[in-house]
Amino acid sequence: MCGIVGYAGPREATPILMEGLSRLEYRGYDSAGLAVHDGADIRILRSPGKLARLAGLLEGRQLPGTLGIGHTRWATHGPPSEQNAHPHASGDVVLVHNGILENHAELRRALEKKGRRFTSQTDTEVFAHLIDEELGRRPLEQAVARALARVRGTYALAVLSRREPDRIVVARSSSPLVLGLGRGENLVASDIPALLGHTRDFVFLEDGDLAVLTAARVEIRTLAGEPVARPTRRIDWSPLMAEKGGHKHFMHKEIHEQPRALADTLTGRILHGRADVRLDDLRFEAAELKALGRVVIAACGTSYHAGLVAKFLIEWFARLPVEVDLASEFRYRRPVVGKGDLLVAISQSGETADTLAALREAKRLGARTLAVCNAVDASIPRAADGVLYTHAGPEIGVASTKAFVTQIGALFLLAVRLGRARRKLSPEEAGRQLEALAGAPELLEAVLRDEARIEAVARAYAQTRDFLYIARGANYPIALEGALKLKEISYIHAEGYPAGEMKHGPIALIDEHVAVVAVACQGESYEKMLSNLAEVRAREGQVIAIGQAGDEQLGALAQHQIHVPRALPSVAPMVNVLPMQLLAYHIADFHGTDVDQPRNLAKSVTVE
């Protein structure tokens, strides 16, 4: 999510760190900071806002030294501010961190009991105190390893100690970290583009690796201290390719980030032993959740589709009626909303004008409000009574992908919480659902592995000018989302419809020129989907079916099949949207459109 750069060598570190961070700017961030060791002491400089602000501060102040670390932060715990910006320090330890520490609240409480004082709201500061606590007379490397044995979560860390002016200790678990090998100098970064100005030789750390970098060498070990060898790779990417992690477009990169992003959404929130979830910022007592009479969801675009999926999840798990509104309609229709209602505003950016207005209107009318949001501390979460952050990481492609899947993941957690608080979901069923949710990232991986097949289908239909997307139940919103993705990035006409409505209109359109993309997974309403597809075939429509591998009945009805793994009905929408995203992506790429910045569209719509 955030960006890390570190340097150990003979040159002044500050300009190298600043340049490295500037190469990560495209990813989005809200604050930045540096720490440089001058041989005797470590100086830290941090600032909210853009790097230019940090550069401005540097003009008046010197950060001399040839060893240092830098960071661009994209807020997850605590709003963007100087106090929450990295590096964080405790005693002799100074560090930067990417990722999310799962057990930070417990660790923080324990550390505070021992008299440690925190100066930020971040989970990262816990790392600094833990390592400082372990440091004693130990070398930094050992202290880091011991501290890491006490944490759960994801991290890429770069750590300095005042007492060891020649080295950076780095470690990773799930969050990426690469070492850049130079001549008489070594570097580290969260992403390759940060270092391409200095080297082309990279060592990719793996989970559980801990490395020590000095100007002269890098040593990689396991947390237990066993040396490990990692190959050096030569990377000849252009800077632009490197920004996209080797993908042709950000959208493609973000589609592939979904298993990781969804895992981040769930991190630390599923209480396996208790068949429940912990949602720290939700800020509603169980009694209040129990007393709710209705949930009203307001959102725009892709976020609205996540709301439509949430309606199924909340009604299934919590037996609570849910209405889903387009925010632009909600605000002007004199909505009947008030006490006893929970208004859930879903927004990736947290800045969409209509969604913000809907939330404010509901609040004015007496409803309680909850924001489901990706951008921390944006206007919508600030205006809401409670927040559920999705932790998808920055999304750059205008067409939303990972934000959508993580919204559904977060709303799934909310639905379980409501179900448990209202005693409508048994512990057994909650446990079963949460287990399935925890397994969802793996199912997403399975779909991504089958990309070549989806690309082949895209090639076969690239010249088709009309697409109809059909599905039933909780997959119906996925049909809407599939059609939206195709429209947005390929400019091809596409419509999403509940399959049961086909006979009431869209069937009139069907002939050999129309492609029908259908979600037809085995389970509820499968037979009905087969009948709908038979109707399409009878009119010579082209059928692209998303279903299970080996399904011969479906195979007999479809010109093309795309396979998805079996999933519980509650998890299936998250899985089934991936083929839709990839299909749209490859069709658009085939046409050579500007996939990441499609014409006439904006990532964040802050005006009506």
Residue among 376 and 398 whose Cβ is closer to ligand G6P: 398
**Is 303 a residue that touches ligand G6P (CB under 6 A)?**
yes
Binding segment toward ligand G6P, per CB under 6 A, in 1-9, 254-262, 393-401, 578-586: 393-401
Beta carbon of residue 417, minimum distance to ligand G6P (angstroms, whole number): 22
**Is 300 a residue that touches ligand G6P (CB under 6 A)?**
yes
**Is 265 a residue that touches ligand G6P (CB under 6 A)?**
no
Residue among 84 and 355 whose Cβ is closer to ligand G6P: 355
Binding segment toward ligand G6P, per CB under 6 A, in 46-54, 56-64, 347-355, 566-574: 347-355
CA-based diameter of the chain, in Å? Answer: 80
**Is 307 a residue that touches ligand G6P (CB under 6 A)?**
no
**Is 390 a residue that touches ligand G6P (CB under 6 A)?**
no
Residue among 31, 34, 25, 27 at smallest CA distance from 6: 34
Annotated active-site residue 2? The verdict is yes
SS3 545: strand
Terminal alpha carbon distance of the chain: 30
**Is 355 a residue that touches ligand G6P (CB under 6 A)?**
yes
Residue among 79, 103, 268 at smallest CA distance from 127: 103
Binding segment toward ligand G6P, per CB under 6 A, in 97-105, 270-278, 346-354, 586-594: 346-354
**Is 181 a residue that touches ligand G6P (CB under 6 A)?**
no
Beta carbon of residue 64, minimum distance to ligand G6P (angstroms, whole number): 42
Q: How many CA atoms lie within 13 A of 349 on its CB side?
A: 20
CA angle 423, 424, 430 (to 5 degrees): 90
Residue among 229 and 607 whose Cβ is closer to ligand G6P: 607
């690796």: which residue's tokens? 209
Whether the upstream peptide bond of residue 259 has omega within 30° of 0, thus cis, is: no
Beta carbon of residue 497, minimum distance to ligand G6P (angstroms, whole number): 20
Beta carbon of residue 606, minimum distance to ligand G6P (angstroms, whole number): 9
Binding segment toward ligand G6P, per CB under 6 A, in 117-125, 272-280, 559-567, 598-606: 598-606
**Is 302 a residue that touches ligand G6P (CB under 6 A)?**
yes
**Is 328 a residue that touches ligand G6P (CB under 6 A)?**
no
**Is 347 a residue that touches ligand G6P (CB under 6 A)?**
yes
**Is 398 a residue that touches ligand G6P (CB under 6 A)?**
yes
DSSP 87: P
**Is 105 a residue that touches ligand G6P (CB under 6 A)?**
no
For the chain, give me the number of helices (H) and strands (E)? 21, 26
User: Which phi and psi (to 5°) does residue 12 adopt?
Assistant: -65, 130
Residue 79, CA distances (Å) to 120, 375, 382, 389 in order:
10, 10, 10, 12
**Is 595 a residue that touches ligand G6P (CB under 6 A)?**
no
Bridge partners for 469 per DSSP: 496, 517
Residue among 93 and 399 whose Cβ is closer to ligand G6P: 399
Candidate list 2, 300, 373, 521, residue with the active-site label: 2
Task: Report the b/e string of 254-263 with b at 16+ CB within 10 A.
Answer: bbbbbbbbbb
User: Which phi and psi (to 5°) does residue 307 adopt?
Assistant: -65, -40
CA atoms 398, 399, 402, 407: torsion sign:
positive
Residue among 374 and 576 whose Cβ is closer to ligand G6P: 374
Beta carbon of residue 381, minimum distance to ligand G6P (angstroms, whole number): 12
**Is 581 a residue that touches ligand G6P (CB under 6 A)?**
no
Residue 131, CA distances (Å) to 35, 120, 354 in order:
17, 17, 45
Binding segment toward ligand G6P, per CB under 6 A, in 136-144, 243-251, 513-521, 600-608: 600-608
**Is 601 a residue that touches ligand G6P (CB under 6 A)?**
yes
Residue among 162 and 603 whose Cβ is closer to ligand G6P: 603
Binding segment toward ligand G6P, per CB under 6 A, in 91-99, 115-123, 348-356, 424-432: 348-356
Beta carbon of residue 601, minimum distance to ligand G6P (angstroms, whole number): 5
Beta carbon of residue 404, minimum distance to ligand G6P (angstroms, whole number): 8
DSSP 500: G
Beta carbon of residue 6, minimum distance to ligand G6P (angstroms, whole number): 33
Q: Is 506 within 8 Å of 323 (Cβ atoms)?
A: no
What is the bridge-based pairing of β-strands 186-189 and 178-181?
antiparallel
Please work out the total of residues on this chain that contact ligand G6P, with binding judged by CB under 6 A: 16
**Is 47 a residue that touches ligand G6P (CB under 6 A)?**
no
What is the bridge-based pairing of β-strands 542-547 and 514-519?
parallel
The residue with its CB nearest to ligand G6P is: 301
SS3 161: strand
E-state strands within 252-352: 270-271, 276-277, 294-299, 322-326, 341-347
| Residue from 48, 87, 301, 419 binding ligand G6P (CB under 6 A) | 301
Q: Is 361 within 8 Å of 388 (Cβ atoms)?
A: no
Residue 343, CA distances (Å) to 293, 330, 336, 366, 409 in order:
11, 11, 12, 10, 18
Residue 516, CA distances (Å) to 260, 316, 457 in order:
31, 29, 12
Residue among 226 and 600 whose Cβ is closer to ligand G6P: 600
**Is 352 a residue that touches ligand G6P (CB under 6 A)?**
yes
Beta carbon of residue 300, minimum distance to ligand G6P (angstroms, whole number): 4
Candidate list 50, 363, 528, 603, residue with the active-site label: 603
What is the bridge-based pairing of β-strands 155-161 and 93-98?
antiparallel
Give the active site residues: 2, 603
* Site for ligand G6P, rule CB under 6 A: 300-303, 347-349, 352, 355, 398-400, 601, 603-605
